[in-house]
Amino acid sequence: MVSFEALLESLQTGSGFWHPLLWGIAIVIAFFIVYILRGLGNKTYKKQTEQTKSFLSGNPEYEKEQMHVKGSNVYWGFTEVLKGVYDLLKKMHNGNASDYVMWFVVVMGVLFILVVML
Amino acid sequence: MIYNIPYLAVVALVLIGLYALLFKRNLIKMVIGVTLIESGVNLFLITLGYRENSIAPIYTGSPGGIMSLPVPQALTLTSIVIGVAVLALMLSLVIHIYRHYGTLDVRKIRRLKE
Amino acid sequence: MSEGMSKIVKTIASAAFPFIMIYGLYVIAHGHLTPGGGFQGGAIVASALAMILVAFGSIWTMGKIKEKQLSLFESLGAISFILLAFLGLGFGTVFFKNFLVDNNFLFGMVPETGSTFANFNTGGVLPLMNFAVGLKVIAGLFAIVLVMAYAIHTKEEKL
Amino acid sequence: MNVPDYFIPLVVALPLLGAFLTPLVSRLSGKARNAFVVIVLGVNGILIGLLASDILTNGIRTYVFGATDLSLPVVRILFEVDAMSVFMALIAAILSFVGVLYSLSFMKEYSGLDKFYTLVLLMTAGMLGMMLTGDLFNFFVFLEITSIASCALIAFWTHKGESVEAAFKYIIISAIGALFILFAIALLYGQYNALNMAVLANSIQYTFLDKIALVILIAALAMKAGLVPMHMWLPDSYGSAPAPVTLILIGTTQASLYGAFRVIFTVYGGVFSDTAFASNVIGAFLVILALATMLIGVIMALRQSNLKRMIAYVAVAEIGYMVLGIGVRLNAALYNEVTQTVVWHPYTTTALQGSILHIMNDALTIGLLFLVAGSIYYATKKISVDQLGGLARKMKYTTVFFVIGLLAAAGMPPLNGFVSKLLIYESTYQLNPIIAIVAILASIMILAVFVKVFHAIFLGPEQESLKTVKEVPKPMLIAMGVIVCIILFFGLFPEFVITNIVEPATTAILNHTQYIGAVLGGV
């Protein structure tokens, strides 16, 4: 059977290492810190006061259901900036089965030139 | 030169098959393209096993002499069997596609894209 | 296709059917002696069945044999093939071992090397495997053709 | 532990027998069939585990079909199992077992389940055959078996047009790929009169025809593995198949990737250790394609609204990491003028280790995410991220599994993705910093993709249309739980995994002389 010591050996990657126990301790410490920080905030938190309401530049707050940002809109800005890239990729992924085969032929041709001609 | 004709036929079959796959819009024609490539590859295998003036590799009542290699023939048979299965599957999928899309044009069968 | 063809076609198909069938079964049975075997003979038999299907129509054929029965035969063929391989493991310690060869009982003769006349009683497990594959191919190919013909028929009905 | 020789064929034969027995067993009752399938795959998994423990300690083994000795190595059908093969077989065993366990309740309400389980078992048998065989033609046959079975499974929901379309695209791609592979095999056979990989590797000369065969094999296997720009079939089929089928499909793509490993490092291994130039060119090409795979995969994933398609694009990106190892290894080969041999830096081995470990990690994490997506579909019957929200309130176990899956896929410590990606970053950085930077960028974007999914699906207020959603049934939770346990184990004890599984696999795949020697007896 697997010995416990074998499990606990550390991994050397060259510029760093990984030890299961150290990592376990680090995670516990991180949880502890998070717990303390949460406790600090919890003291001053009072329910049902002005403090719990969100502030939207003075605009009225909508219902929670209406405020949920839908999946497609989450990275709106990112996709807007990369519009050129996306248009290109859309043209590439056109869903035509013939083109799927064409890409295979193209890659084979390029590899052929690289391997055989050079 | 005469011995190269089967190889030329192989190249022609594979190229015609690829042409059908790349430029034909009808799904049935694409399926035919796949089977053409398959025939080309099978012909290639069979041709590889042939030796000049050889007889079929059957011992029963054989006249003696060189026999052509049986291994490529076995490979070809396996490939044909697989080809039948693939062909049946492709054709039944085409039937289903026609039911759902009402067309066999490959450019219109693109609900899955991007 | 679903209704069947004219009386002439039906009669000729019925007349030709036994001959094609026997030829196909011959190819299956002599698979270990001649070119051919389970798949080739099975394809011939299945084509005979497909001829009947075309001649008599898919509805009539569906009344005679169901797809479920065919798939049962198909899995029986596949199972007997695999079981023969497993029996090789049991009797001869190696998977796919030809354990029947050289026993003078069933397909057990060892032919002389070189050009001989056909001795049907040779080949060990190979003829048995050919039978198994033949059964599977007959059932499988015919099931495919039958289901396709039937699918086209239901489509016609819908329109 | 020593296992008898017949374990090697049994691993493939058992699922095959099970596949053909399933229609008969299902005539008894549905429960009997389910139990039968689970038992077959469970026993098969145990066999693979025993075989793996033997091979990993005692080294390479061969098995000849139909004869006790290898009197005619060129003709006999041969299984050759080394550490890399069993490493892949372990993945296949895990994926198929978990997939069947998951489909017990996921597929319950659909008809034709006897065919479903038959095909799943066939697919498993084909996958394992690809991984264990020592014969190129056998590889082709098993590849086709796997393709046919998986294509039929992708089209299992024939009432959906998308499934049928995806299956058609998949079968076209598979048929073309497999036929070209057969063509390449024929080219090799015509020259060396052998189909056995070891014999071929022993006698390969790297002639003009060999170069063509190499080109065709690499291109076709890369297409089957889903490398950009031949990846388009992958999101289609992954996204349209039922979730457990997708899980096992990951295994089939990785089996093709294993084929690429085998061809490059074993069959052409001797060539690449004699000449550095060809190796460098192919390596550079593969590195470029791998980087493109990562970037295009994640960029396309960002704008998907269909959850399964999105995960499928991330799966494409993960394939880039696996191919990167091959590319770096090939590209960093240096010809030493003095000793007249090709030498490699030690970091290339590390890169390959990272890639091989990443094969396992990708199967686990992406598989888990697909299972979570399937659970969401099962519970809500919706798959678009726009229609979902607030599911964390209803499905707490699924949420936890998703979080673990997303962190693992993004390479966060202490989960398994971190270790393999760390190995890849550190080693590829030494070849060219840009590679590592792109790899890290892709990882960050994977995290971004899944944070978006997590926000859109699990967080937020309860949706009106999702009031009646319940947690998924137990078999599905158990299936996901099994994967999560393995992920945590791999993440916490990486050194154990690497020394015991990954290092033997890497050594085995790089040592082509040993592979040849196992068949030809130390030529």
What are the tens digits of pLDDT across the range D195-204? 888 888 988 8
Please check whether residue D518 lies inside any domain of the structure.
no
CA-based max dimension of chain A: 76
Domains in chain B, CATH or no CATH each: 2-57+64-101 (1.10.287.3510)
pLDDT of residue D99: 93
Range of the domain at D418: 276-492
Which residue of B21, B79, B111 is in closest CB contact with D182? B79
Range of the domain at C97: 7-158
Task: Please answer whether residues C2 and C156 qualify as being in contact, where contact means their C-beta atoms are separated by less than 8 angstroms.
Answer: yes
Q: Which of C40-44, C117-121, D299-303 has the lowest mean pLDDT?
A: C117-121
Q: Is the pLDDT of residue D229 over 90?
A: no
In angstroms, the CA D92 to CA D254 distance is 9
In angstroms, the CA A36 to CA D308 distance is 39
Please check whether residue C2 lies inside any domain of the structure.
no
Return the residue of B nearest to A105 by Cα: B18
Please check whether residue C38 lies inside any domain of the structure.
yes
Instruction: Give me the sign of the Cα torsion angle D496, D497, D498, D499.
Output: positive
Contacts of D195 in chain B (CB under 8 A): 71, 75
| 3-state helix vs strand vs coil in chain C, percent to 5 | 70, 0, 30
Return the residue of A nearest to B108 by Cα: A96
Go through B49-71 and write b for each residue having 16 or more CB atoms within 10 A of its CB, e for each that does not.
beeeeeeebeeeeeeeeeebbeb
Residue D334 bridge partners (DSSP): D343
Q: Measured between CA atoms, how close is C98 to chain D, in angstroms?
A: 6
| Interchain contact D40–C (C-beta under 8 A) | no
More confident residue, D147 or A70: D147
pLDDT tens digits, one per residue of D89-102: 999 999 999 999 99
Please check whether residue D70 lies inside any domain of the structure.
no
Contacts of D172 in chain B (CB under 8 A): 21, 30, 34, 90
pLDDT of residue D523: 43
| Strand pairing report for A11-12 and A17-18 | antiparallel
* Contact state of C114 with B84 under an 8 Å Cβ cutoff: no
pLDDT tens digits, one per residue of D324-333: 999 999 988 8
Return the residue of B nearest to D189 by Cα: B48
Q: Which residue has the tokens 């991220």?
A: D385
SS3 C116: strand
Both tokens of D269, joined, read 């291994």
| Interchain contact B90–A (C-beta under 8 A) | no
Q: How far is CA C57 from CA C49, C50, C64, C141, in A?
A: 11, 10, 11, 17
Please check whether residue D447 lies inside any domain of the structure.
yes
Q: Measured between CA atoms, how close is D155 to chain B, in angstroms?
A: 8
Please give the tally of structural domains in chain C: 1
Neighbours of B23 (CB within 10 A): 12
Neighbours of D339 (CB within 10 A): 8
pLDDT tier for residue D274 given thresholds of 50, 70 and 90: confident
pLDDT of residue D77: 84
| Interchain contact D6–C (C-beta under 8 A) | yes
List the 79-108 stretch of B: residues with Cβ below 8 A of C: 80-81, 84, 88, 91-92, 95, 98-99
Please give the tally of structural domains in chain D: 1
Neighbours of C109 (CB within 10 A): 16
D522: left (phi over 0), alpha (psi -120 to 50) or beta: left
Amino acid (1-letter code) at residue D522 = G
Contacts of C151 in chain B (CB under 8 A): 92, 95
Global pTM reads 0.93
pLDDT tens digits, one per residue of D398-424: 999 999 998 999 888 778 888 889 889
Q: Do chains D and A touch (3 or more CB pairs under 8 A)?
A: yes
pLDDT tens digits, one per residue of D444-499: 999 988 888 888 888 878 777 777 888 888 889 999 999 999 999 888 888 888 88
